[in-house]
Amino acid sequence: MKLSKKKKDKDIEKALNEATAKKEDKTAEAEQDGEGEEKEKRPFNKKLLLIPAIAVPVLAIVGLLVANSLYKPKEEVYVPPEKNVEITITLDYNEAESFVNYKTKKCLSGSPIGNLPSPQKKGYVFNGWHCGDIEYTADTICDTDKDFTITAQWIKPNECKKAVGFYKDDTFEDLLNQYDAGECAEFKDEVPAYIHIKSGYKFIAYSKKNFEGDAVEMFTDGAFSGKLLSYKIEEIKSEAFVLGALTAEREVELLNTYAPKIWLAEAEDFLPYSIDEAVKYLERKGTSDGFIFHQDIPEKLDDEDNTYDYLYGSFKLAKAYSFFIPKSDGCFDLVYFQYCPYNLGPKIMGKNRLNQIGDWEHISIRFATYTENDTLYAKPVLVCCSANSSLNYYTWDTMEFAKGTTHPIFYSAFGSHGLWPTEGEHTYGKESIFSLKETCSQGKAWDTWDKERLETYHYDCLKHNGTGLGASQWKTYFDTNIASPESNAVLLWGNKSTKKLLDIVPTYADGGKSPQFEKEFLDYYSFA
């Protein structure tokens, strides 16, 4: 049957409409699918990575801060030696050539070690048996229950008879050459590694000919580095006096005559003190290095508990501790110490650091001696003063003196007590990346020669022992047997350094080293 034209047109239109509708539906579906794909392809939000990137370090820092606040350095447990234990002492004769009697000997812990041989070595002087800084004699108490070794110590008499001697190494045995006072505009000899300078002279080395270029000025034995193309050797000028016999009375007189005037800083809180008063608050505590004086460190010094009052010292009770120390070449040193129970360190990152329980600072004066017309003369030539971790040297003719006297003037830096010959700000070293500075000013004056406040001693730097002079009694705190539980000797006058996990610079440094372990007391030839 044939469809009518009208009917046919309607069917065609309907088919077209349905096809169009289907196409639109597919297009819509495709668009929806495209949107889904677009959503899937959308880039990841990188800001989300910041959350763990920030959170992890923050948590780590918080953890470290908590650990740092809770951290306590491990306490060293000291176990006293058991008594009456038989031990073996090995004798190291250190290349002795004769009187090498036996290589070991037995003794009991807690008892004297008994007789020891006196060996000989050609060209040397025997200086006793030593273990570390401790000398052992027949009367020395054996202060350990473990076997140990003692070594023969030898001194090489200095061969240099002129003002300056050049040496190859720090033994000062191989003398390269020696020179009298004078100058040399063009030096061509071998440049030394070490220089010995006779007391009373100074050596100035120049890096260019004719006394030009960089100059190095030296006053005492030491290493030499740098260029040497010309030099001057000059006598240090000062007024000489007749020395006379060195009786105990004469040594006391000299210690009084040259005792320094010390200006304490303005508004100084931590003053000098008497060690006899300070030890009432200190515990003698054993460590692997030897006994130290210990004080529980307060969180705040203004604690209501008056146990800590002594840390502020007392100008009224302060004493100066002086030592007369004869040396091998006939010269001698006068050494003066001030003791402060507390040392306030420099401010670093807004906080005082490198504080100390127990602070010793000292001034040394070197005297040269000579004989003229059968009369022995002496004259002051050098001064050395300590400033915390540094030593500074000056010639006697550059010093300032109390008016009309021979008392040199020094300034004790605020808080830290470093000693300097001038007022103002001084730099005395570095700790990590930080320069250490301190300031001196005229606050309260301390004339250390006051007879009621100056302790006077004689010290033998060969035998490493001392005696009291005049009315002063020897302090057993200044003995060297720091390993013996039976003695009063100490290595440090305060706690060992305490350092937290995150500390770049510790809050507390080691307590001040006891005077007998300063270089003047240990090195026979040396000055400070």
Whether residue 160 has pLDDT greater than 50: yes
**Mean pLDDT calculated for residue range 37-49:** 60
Phi/psi-derived region of residue 84, left when phi > 0, alpha when psi is between -120 and 50, beta in every other case: left
Which of 302 and 188 is assigned the larger pLDDT? 188
Of the candidates 190, 185, 181, 175, the one whose C-alpha atom is nearest the C-alpha of residue 163 is 181
- Condensed to tens digits (0 to 9), the pLDDT of residues 169-223 reads 888 888 999 999 999 999 999 899 999 999 999 999 999 999 999 999 999 888 9
Name the 3-class secondary structure at 225.
coil
Report pLDDT for 2. 46
Mean pLDDT computed over every residue of the chain: 87
Report pLDDT for 3. 46
Name the 3-class secondary structure at 478.
helix
- The answer to whether 219 touches 245, Cβ cutoff 8 Å, is no
- Rounded Cα gap, residues 69 and 52, in angstroms: 25
Which of 183 and 46 is assigned the larger pLDDT? 183
One-letter-per-residue 3-state SS of 393-450: EEEHHHCCECCCCCCEEEEECCCCCCEECCCEEEEEEEECCEEEEEEECCCCEEECCC
Dig out the tokens for 210 from the structure.
Answer: 């004719």
Side chain identity at 119, as an amino acid letter? P
- Rounded Cα gap, residues 198 and 208, in angstroms: 24
CA 325 centroid distance within chain: 22
CA 252 centroid distance within chain: 30
- The answer to whether 340 touches 271, Cβ cutoff 8 Å, is yes
Dig out the tokens for 516 from the structure.
Answer: 């007998």
Which of 64 and 130 is assigned the larger pLDDT? 130
Return the top range by mean pLDDT from 165-169, 389-393, 440-444: 440-444
CA 84 centroid distance within chain: 37
DSSP class of residue 145 equals S
Whether residue 41 has pLDDT greater than 60: no
Pairing of strands 320-326, 454-460: parallel
Strand partners, 204: 217, 232
- Rounded Cα gap, residues 96 and 103, in angstroms: 12
Q: How far apart are the first and last CA of the chain?
A: 136
- Rounded Cα gap, residues 425 and 316, in angstroms: 27
Q: Which residues contact 243 (CB under 8 A, 6 or more apart)?
A: 369, 376, 377, 378
Name the 3-class secondary structure at 263.
strand
> Which pLDDT band, with edges at 50, 70 and 90, does 71 fall under?
low
Half-sphere exposure of 333 (CA within 13 A, CB side): 29
- Condensed to tens digits (0 to 9), the pLDDT of residues 307-317 reads 789 999 999 99
One-letter-per-residue 3-state SS of 378-394: EEEEEEEEEECCEEEEE
Whether residue 101 has pLDDT greater than 90: no
DSSP class of residue 98 equals B
- Rounded Cα gap, residues 496 and 302, in angstroms: 22
All domains of the chain in start order, with CATH: 86-155 (2.60.40.4270), 164-235 (2.60.20.10), 241-522 (no CATH)
